[in-house]
Amino acid sequence: MKIGDLARRAGLSVHTLRYYERIGLLPRAERDGGGRRDYDAAILTWIGFLRRLKTTGMPLREMQRYAGLRRQGDGTGPERRALLEAHRETVRAQVEELQACLSVLDAKIESYRTADTAGKGTAP
């Protein structure tokens, strides 16, 4: 698979794919005769996982660390696991905070709703 195809399938730009390779998030792709990257479809799984990490707010630095451990092989399992467990906790906290914010939003919207049906504005 060429980088353009991968970009389409992964939902990232070719720029981003090359950038991720540069910084070590993606393994250096094999090249064809003309020096062009030629990807195995399996890379999509890894990219999908990276996306989960990014979605959950993990900075690239930490993804680099994880990717580095992964490159170093099986022995690093416990370390990778610890990294993910720590991250899981931050994501849990994040979800809780968002839910609290949602309640506040709901209340605020409700206050606009009642101010709307009644006559006068009340909410800040």
Residues that bind a copy of itself (CB under 8 A): 45-46, 49, 52, 55-56, 70, 73-74, 77-78, 80-81, 84-85, 87-88, 91-92, 94-95, 97-99, 101-102, 104-106, 108-109, 112-113, 115-116, 120-121, 123-124
| Residues 53-72 close enough to bind DNA by CB under 7 A | 54, 59-61
Q: Which is nearer to a copy of itself, 8 or 112 (CB)?
A: 112
Report which secondary-structure segment, H or E, holds 3: helix 3-10
| Alpha-helical segments (H) within 11-76 | 14-22, 43-55, 60-72
Residue 5 is a binding residue for DNA (CB under 7 A): yes
Distance in angstroms (rounded) separating the CA atoms of residues 33 and 50: 29
Gyration radius from the chain CA atoms? 22
Cβ count within 10 A of residue 20: 20
Contact footprint for DNA (CB under 7 A): 2-5, 13-16, 18-19, 22, 29, 31, 33-37, 54, 59-61
